[in-house]
């Protein structure tokens, strides 16, 4: 097919199939028109241009340029230029470029002076102009008159490309800084002013534009990006400027035609002598000008745009598409056709966001015009699916413009209802920019004029009021929210619509819930959604990102107050309603003397607290109490009285339940007193979490309950709430202490209470129920962190420091291993959403427990060696806990490198022993277990990073301890090979972090661990091959895993592309620099070996200077 089309192009170029209009044109123009049609027919966005058509296009462009140059009149210029003339020309070129760089008002006179020079000496002025464009590209080469006259354009461009002296990738168009800050604007302005100054004569002389365009087109085909980028911008801006000239010529042509029509209507006696002939000649001249302008614009489009819109540089492609949109909108009679629109449609699939954005901006201008949109039916039918799908573009700016374009199309009735709903659903996205654009679209779609008119004309239900406009709009929002089935993102929904509709700021929306005669009828689900929207609107109104002048808060009016009493029985609705007062402007209560309203609000909160057992409702009510009891609130005393009454009632109820349960078993599930105690304690926990309730001193009874629960057992609900209350009591008491002079009695009491609570929690961790163990573990972790050794540095709180003993540390470790990592292999894939949600909640509980334990290891509260079994799960449980373990490994290394490397070696040894025992003492080195062990070591190694100076000590320690373990003979039989020699293969995963100095020291240490007869045994027993391979990685860095291509003395793989070696490097590498051995910390306990001192090689007696030695002179 492409070949046949190319043949048709050749046939058309011969002139046999030309129309009468085409036959009147010159041959080279008809051939160029045929080539342009061939480009339109044969190009496909997924296929390259056919070879035949490409050849015809190139040949026609070259021949056309030659013929246009040959047809141009030869300007009268001197054949030789004196030295003074050359110097003046260079000065004029500098003035032009300086005017472009400076910009401003200096540009206009410079263009006018150039036009005068062109009128005096056209050839010299054109050379000057071409030189200017070359300099604007960042090229420092000079175009001489001899090059211009004797050389072909392609040869000159080739010479410029070869002599492009700019080494960096910057050129004026993309250079940042104060000098070239406005260069692009002034460059475009220069092109426009140049055409404006030459529009009456020069652009029609078939010399200026023909020569300039010929050079610019050749430069756009250069391999140098600076030439293509700058000259493409110049070419497309030339077309834009010519469109302005074409409008002027068309206006003159229309005016001339009206004069001719008026003159023809006059009788012959009243006609001016020769006036009609002059007008006819003027019309012909203007028509020739229009044809010439169209010819130039079409030539630039086919020669520049068709090639550069798919340039490898995204900036060039974006320029072409953006300017094409300007052409279509500014000169629709010529450019608004499917043959041009297809390029915008194709570039909607471009891989670069800026190009897709330029296409959308161009389409936005077309669809916004009522006059132009009628010509886009076929384009819309072809590319509408792509335009609507771009709402999900990965680039936020592209997605926003796509949504705005869809909004314009929706206003023209070009989108289906399903497509509009899909765009409206984007209000729930996390991206605030895209969701706000979708919110604007949703408001326009949901509240369209057609919908509002139909809603207002709807029949009113008998016995109800006619709904207001805001009620209709709010009902439509509620129904949309319910229909999309996304009920956990009301905050996103309100935030997306907030700036585009006043409905959410109309606080009279609560009347829809209170007025029984409201014209809008809501079901239970819609009522819940409306309450949630009201709550989110209250939060949005008081957020920091509010518009200027909007009130930050408000109070409930007497009309709205019954909301809590009416909907307080529903837990979901009550949770939202209880959170609304947190966003009130509390000063209005005192300013407007609204004491009664405050008392009513407090009574409603108390009713919610005493009525509900749901944790969400209780926590929101507690937060509201905390907000209303702040000291800066002038009426906080009223809140304190109400809160005291509430706590008094709860404490009294708790004591009654405790006294009633003393004689009964706390493990009875059907005991009503135990249920009442659990509910009361949960309410106290909610308040205790945000408000200090220590002054009521109700925890002595809870200690009694805890002792009974540890000895005899207790239901989980009571036990968990008791532990939470006691934990909160210890934290609030510590918080209230005066750090500089704490009361001795309080410190003594707190220390005794802490000791007793920790002991009881430890018993529960060992022997309690599942929920009891979990809550006791969390309590222990929190208390150990709160009362850790950092209290020694805070005033006089040192006596309160509590450090766990080995028994407690071991118990915590065993509990984590059993509750976090056991049972994960037996989990099955969920069959439905409920099972998936249950598994996700269980996994979250496990992660909470693991995080609490790792926190103790990071802060040094427990010995880091107890974290070794957890670290060993890094690879095996990477999907579930990999992020937590990786963070813990990194933080532990930063806090204590010595304990860290010992823990790493211990974890590797534990996994090694487990693998060895599972395979009956003979490890299969091709098994998945062995591969997993090496992968674990590799991941440990990756956490060390690239700063080898900081990790030098732990890396050497890992090798030393690994060699000691691998060469040990547990049975004392030194004649046989040690059973753990293959462990050296695991240790070698860390070898590429070693520097040359430490390698020599480790080799010496390895030799010291071997006995005299080891060399003979190595040759006899095959197990010694692991030792030989490990020694090879120490001696030769190239054999270390991960060190291929690494220079000596530095860890890791070098970055960047390899370079050729210098003469000095070819002679041989320089000796490594001496190690920087840190001074030993005299305050740290333990011997030098325990502190992990870096091993250094023995002194050879040779003096070594610092740095690289100088090369001797020859």
- Predicted local distance difference test score (pLDDT) of residue 1013: 56
Q: Which residue has the higher pLDDT, 691 or 595?
A: 691
Q: Which residue has the higher pLDDT, 343 or 56?
A: 343
Q: Which whole number is the average pLDDT over 741-748?
A: 92
User: Residue 50 and residue 5: Cα distance in Å, rounded?
Assistant: 9
Which range, of 295-304, 827-836, 878-887, 916-925, averages the lowest pLDDT?
827-836
Q: Using a pLDDT cut of 90, give the percent of the chain over it.
A: 39
Banded model confidence at residue 53, pLDDT cuts 50, 70, 90: very low
**Which tens digit of pLDDT belongs to each residue from 519-541?**
677 888 888 888 888 888 888 87
Give the mean pLDDT of 936-947.
89
Better-scored residue on pLDDT, 191 or 8: 191
Residues in contact with 336: Cβ distance below 8 Å, sequence separation at least 6, in sequence order: 328, 366, 372, 375
Average pLDDT over residues 228-244: 93
**Mean pLDDT highest for which of 273-287, 752-766, 1002-1016, 1091-1105?**
752-766
Pair 710, 722: CB distance under 8 Å: no
Both tokens of residue 790?
């950092």
In the DSSP assignment, the letter for residue 517 is T
Confidence of residue 746 (pLDDT cuts 50, 70, 90): very high
What distance in Å separates the CA atoms of residue 1054 and residue 945, rounded to the nearest whole number? 13
321 or 460: which carries more pLDDT confidence?
321
Summary mean pLDDT of the chain: 79
Q: Is the pLDDT of residue 1072 over 80?
A: no
DSSP 533: H
pLDDT at 69: 38
Confidence of residue 1015 (pLDDT cuts 50, 70, 90): low
Whole-angstrom distance, CA of residue 708 vs CA of residue 665: 9
At residue 980, the pLDDT reads: 86
Distance, CA of 925 to CA of 907 (rounded, Å): 19
Q: Of 104-118, 267-281, 374-388, 1083-1097, which one has max mean pLDDT?
A: 374-388
Give the count of beta carbons closer than 10 Å to the beta carbon of residue 29: 19
Q: What pLDDT, in 10s, does the model give residues 961-986?
A: 999 998 887 665 555 678 888 899 99
User: Is pLDDT at 454 greater than 80 in this prediction?
Assistant: no
Residue 762 has a pLDDT of 94
Instruction: Decide if pLDDT at 120 tops 80.
Output: yes
Contact 706, 753 (CB under 8 A): no
User: Between 645 and 43, whose confidence is greater?
Assistant: 645
Interval 1022-1049 mean pLDDT: 66
Q: What would the pLDDT profile of 705-733 be if each residue is shown by its tens digit?
A: 999 889 888 888 999 999 999 999 999 99
CB 872 within 8 A of CB 911: yes
Q: What is the mean pLDDT of residues 356-372?
A: 94
pLDDT tens digits for 554-570?
444 434 456 777 777 78
Residue 170: predicted pLDDT? 76
What local confidence, expressed as pLDDT, does residue 153 receive?
73
What single DSSP character describes residue 1075?
Answer: P
What pTM value is reported for the model? 0.64
What's the rounded mean pLDDT across residues 794-811? 93
* Burial of 526: CB neighbours in 10 Å, binned 0-12, 13-18, 19+: middle
CB 424 within 8 A of CB 407: no
For residue 952, the Cα-to-chain-centroid distance in whole angstroms is 35
More confident residue, 52 or 662: 662
- The SS3 assignment for 528 reads helix
Of 91 and 57, the one with more pLDDT: 91
pLDDT band at 1021 (very low <50, low <70, confident <90, very high): low
- CA–CA separation, 844 and 855 (whole Å): 16
Burial 661-681 (b: 16+ CB within 10 A, else e): beeeebbeeebebbbbbbbbb
Question: Per residue in 578-625, pLDDT tens?
Answer: 888 887 778 777 777 878 888 888 888 898 999 888 999 999 999 999
pLDDT band at 543 (very low <50, low <70, confident <90, very high): low
Of residues 369 and 569, more confidence is placed in 369
Over residues 257-275, the mean pLDDT reads 76
Q: For residues 656 and 64, which has the higher predicted lDDT (pLDDT)?
A: 656
Question: DSSP letter at 44?
Answer: B
Tokens of 79: 């054949």
Confidence of residue 865 (pLDDT cuts 50, 70, 90): very high
pLDDT higher than threshold 70 for residue 14: no
Query: Please, what's the b/e burial string for 587-596 (b: 16 or more CB within 10 A of its CB; e: otherwise)?
Result: eebeeeebee
3-state DSSP assignment of residue 47: strand
pLDDT given at position 23: 37
Q: Would you give the DSSP letter of residue 830?
A: P
| Beta carbons within 10 angstroms of residue 925's beta carbon | 12
> So what's the pLDDT on residue 451?
76
**Phi-psi map region of 497: left, alpha, beta (phi>0 left; psi -120 to 50 alpha):** alpha
Q: Residue 902: what pLDDT? A: 95
Structure tokens belonging to residue 445? 């779609």
Which of 66-70, 158-162, 463-467, 646-650 is predicted with the least confidence, judged by mean pLDDT? 66-70
Q: Identify the top-confidence range among 664-668, 804-808, 1081-1085.
A: 804-808
Distances (CA, A) of 501 to 445, 455, 494, 715: 12, 18, 10, 52
DSSP 999-1022: HHHHHHHHHHHS-TTHHHHHHH-G
Q: Which of 10-24, 53-67, 441-455, 503-517 has the highest mean pLDDT?
A: 441-455
Asked if residues 753 and 787 have their Cβ atoms less than 8 Å apart, the reply is: no
Higher-pLDDT residue of 69 and 359 is 359
Task: Please write the tens of the pLDDT for every residue from 59-72.
Answer: 433 444 443 333 33
Q: Which of 79-93, 417-431, 879-893, 924-938 has the lowest mean pLDDT?
A: 79-93
667: helix, coil or strand? coil
Contacts of residues 460-465 at CB distance under 8 Å and 24 or more positions apart, as own/partner, are 460/519, 461/519, 461/521, 463/517, 464/517, 464/518, 464/519, 464/521, 465/515, 465/517, 465/518, 465/519
Question: CA 910, CA 926: separation in Å to the nearest integer?
Answer: 19
Residue range 934-949: mean pLDDT, rounded:
88
pLDDT of residue 985: 92
pLDDT band at 463 (very low <50, low <70, confident <90, very high): low
How would residue 771 be classed by pLDDT, with cut points 50, 70 and 90? very high
1016 pLDDT above the threshold of 60: no
DSSP state at residue 207 = S
- Region 802-818: mean pLDDT is 94
Q: Which pLDDT score is estimated for 773?
A: 94
Q: Helices in 103-182 by DSSP H: which ranges?
A: 107-120, 122-136, 145-150, 153-162
Report the pLDDT value the prediction gives residue 537, as an integer from 0 to 100: 84
pLDDT score for 230? 92
| For range 95-108, the mean pLDDT | 75
Q: Which residue would you say has higher pLDDT here, 1083 or 274? A: 274
Determine the average pLDDT of the residues in 38-43: 35
Mean pLDDT, to the nearest integer, of 374-386? 93
């Amino acid at each position: 097919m492409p070949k046949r089309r190319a043949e048709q192009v050749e046939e058309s170029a011969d002139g046999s199939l030309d129309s009468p209009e085409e036959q009147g044109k010159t041959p080279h123009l008809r051939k160029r028109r045929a080539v342009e049609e061939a480009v339109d027919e044969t190009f496909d966005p997924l296929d390259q241009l056919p070879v035949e058509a490409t050849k015809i296009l190139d040949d026609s462009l070259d021949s056309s340029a030659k013929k246009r140059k040959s047809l141009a009149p030869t300007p009268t210029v001197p054949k030789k230029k004196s030295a003074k003339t050359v110097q003046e020309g260079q000065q004029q070129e500098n003035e032009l470029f300086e005017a472009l760089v400076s910009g401003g008002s200096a540009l206009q006179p410079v263009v006018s002076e150039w036009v005068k020079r062109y009128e005096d000496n056209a050839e010299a002025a054109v050379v000057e102009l071409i030189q200017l464009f070359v300099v604007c590209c960042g090229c420092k080469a000079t175009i001489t008159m001899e090059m211009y006259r004797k050389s072909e354009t392609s040869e000159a461009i080739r010479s410029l490309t070869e002599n492009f002296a700019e080494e960096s990738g910057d050129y004026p168009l993309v250079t940042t800084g104060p000098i070239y800050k406005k260069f692009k604007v002034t460059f475009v302005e220069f092109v426009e002013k140049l055409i404006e100054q030459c529009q009456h004569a020069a652009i029609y002389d078939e010399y200026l534009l023909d020569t300039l365009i010929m050079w610019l087109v050749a430069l756009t085909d250069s391999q140098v990006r600076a030439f293509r980028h700058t000259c493409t911008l110049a070419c497309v801006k030339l077309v834009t400027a010519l469109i302005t000239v074409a409008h002027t010529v068309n206006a003159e042509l229309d005016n001339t035609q009206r004069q001719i029509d008026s003159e023809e209507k006059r009788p012959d006696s009243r006609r001016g002598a020769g006036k009609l002939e002059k007008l006819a000649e003027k019309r012909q001249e203007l028509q020739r000008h229009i044809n010439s302008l169209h010819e130039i614009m079409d030539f630039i489009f086919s020669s520049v745009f068709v090639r550069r819109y798919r340039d490898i540089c995204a900036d060039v492609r974006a320029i072409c598409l953006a300017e094409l949109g300007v052409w279509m909108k500014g000169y629709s009679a010529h450019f608004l056709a499917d043959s041009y629109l297809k390029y915008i449609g194709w570039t909607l699939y471009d891989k670069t966001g800026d190009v897709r954005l330029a296409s959308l901006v161009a389409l936005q201008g077309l669809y916004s015009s009522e006059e132009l949109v009628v010509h886009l039916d076929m384009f819309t039918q072809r590319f509408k699916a792509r335009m609507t799908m771009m709402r999900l573009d990965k680039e936020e700016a592209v997605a926003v413009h796509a949504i705005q374009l869809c909004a314009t199309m929706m206003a023209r009735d070009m989108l289906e209802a399903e497509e509009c709903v899909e765009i409206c659903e984007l209000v729930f996205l996390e991206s605030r920019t895209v969701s706000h654009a979708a919110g604007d679209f949703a408001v326009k779609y949901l509240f369209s004029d057609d919908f509002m008119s139909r809603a207002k004309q709807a029949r009113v239900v008998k016995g109800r009021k006619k709904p207001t406009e805001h009620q209709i709009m709010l009902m439509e929002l509620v129904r949309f929210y319910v229909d999309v089935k996304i009920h956990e993102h009301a905050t996103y929904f309100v935030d997306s619509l907030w700036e585009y509709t006043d409905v959410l700021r109309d606080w009279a929306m609560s009347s829809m819930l209170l007025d029984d005669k409201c014209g809008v009828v809501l079901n239970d689900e819609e009522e819940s959604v409306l309450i949630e929207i009201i709550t989110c609107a209250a939060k949005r109104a008081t957020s920091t990102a509010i518009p200027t002048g909007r009130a930050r808060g408000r109070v409930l009016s007497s009309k709205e107050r019954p909301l809590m009493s009416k909907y307080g029985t529903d837990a979901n609705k009550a949770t939202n309603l209880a959170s609304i007062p947190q966003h009130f402007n509390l000063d209005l209560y005192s300013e407007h003397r609204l004491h009664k309203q405050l008392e009513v609000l407090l009574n409603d909160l108390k009713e919610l607290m005493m009525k509900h057992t749901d944790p969400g409702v209780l926590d929101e009510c507690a937060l509201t109490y905390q907000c209303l009891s702040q000291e800066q609130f002038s009426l906080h005393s009223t809140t304190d009285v109400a809160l005291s009454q509430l706590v008094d009632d709860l404490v009294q109820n708790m004591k009654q339940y405790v006294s009633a349960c003393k004689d009964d078993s706390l493990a009875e599930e059907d005991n009503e007193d135990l249920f009442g105690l659990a509910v009361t304690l949960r309410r106290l926990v909610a308040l205790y979490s945000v408000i200090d309730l220590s002054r009521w001193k109700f925890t002595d009874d809870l200690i009694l309950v805890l002792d009974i629960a540890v000895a005899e057992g207790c239901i989980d609900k009571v036990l968990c709430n008791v532990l939470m209350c006691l934990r909160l009591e210890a934290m609030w008491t510590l918080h209230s202490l005066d750090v500089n002079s704490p009361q001795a009695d309080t410190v003594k009491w707190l220390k005794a209470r802490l000791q007793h609570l920790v002991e009881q929690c430890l018993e529960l961790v060992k022997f309690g129920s599942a929920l009891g163990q979990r809550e006791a573990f969390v309590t222990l972790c929190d208390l150990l962190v709160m009362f850790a050794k950092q209290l020694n540095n805070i005033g006089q709180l040192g006596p309160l420091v509590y450090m766990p003993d080995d028994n407690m540390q071991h118990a915590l470790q065993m509990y984590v291993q059993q509750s976090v990592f056991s049972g994960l292999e037996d989990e099955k894939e969920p069959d439905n959403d409920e099972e998936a949600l249950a598994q996700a909640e269980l996994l979250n509980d496990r992660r909470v427990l693991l995080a609490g334990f790792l926190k103790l290891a990071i802060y040094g509260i427990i010995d880091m060696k107890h974290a070794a079994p957890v670290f060993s799960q890094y690879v095996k449980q990477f999907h579930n806990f990999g992020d937590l373990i990786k963070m813990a490994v990194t933080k532990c290394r930063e806090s204590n490198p010595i304990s860290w490397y010992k823990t790493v070696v211990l974890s590797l040894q534990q996994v090694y022993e487990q693998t060895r025992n599972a395979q009956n003492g003979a490890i299969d080195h091709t098994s998945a277990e062995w591969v997993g062990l090496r992968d674990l070591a590799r991941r440990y190694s990756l956490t060390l990073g690239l700063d080898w100076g900081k990790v030098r000590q732990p890396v050497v320690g890992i090798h030393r301890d690994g060699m000691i373990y691998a060469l040990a003979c547990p049975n004392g039989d030194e004649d046989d090979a040690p059973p753990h020699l293959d462990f050296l293969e695991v240790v070698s995963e860390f070898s590429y972090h070693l520097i040359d100095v430490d390698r020599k020291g480790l080799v010496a240490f390895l030799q010291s661990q071997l006995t005299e007869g080891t060399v003979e045994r190595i040759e006899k027993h095959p197990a010694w091959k692991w030792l030989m391979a490990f020694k090879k990685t120490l001696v030769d860095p190239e054999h270390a895993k991960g060190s291929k291509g690494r220079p000596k003395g530095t860890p890791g793989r070098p970055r960047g592309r390899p370079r050729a070696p210098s003469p000095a490097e070819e002679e041989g590498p320089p000796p490594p620099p001496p190690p920087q051995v840190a001074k030993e910390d005299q305050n740290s306990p333990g011997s030098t070996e325990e502190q992990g001192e870096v091993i250094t090689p023995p002194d050879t007696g040779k003096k070594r200077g610092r740095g690289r030695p100088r090369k001797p002179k020859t």
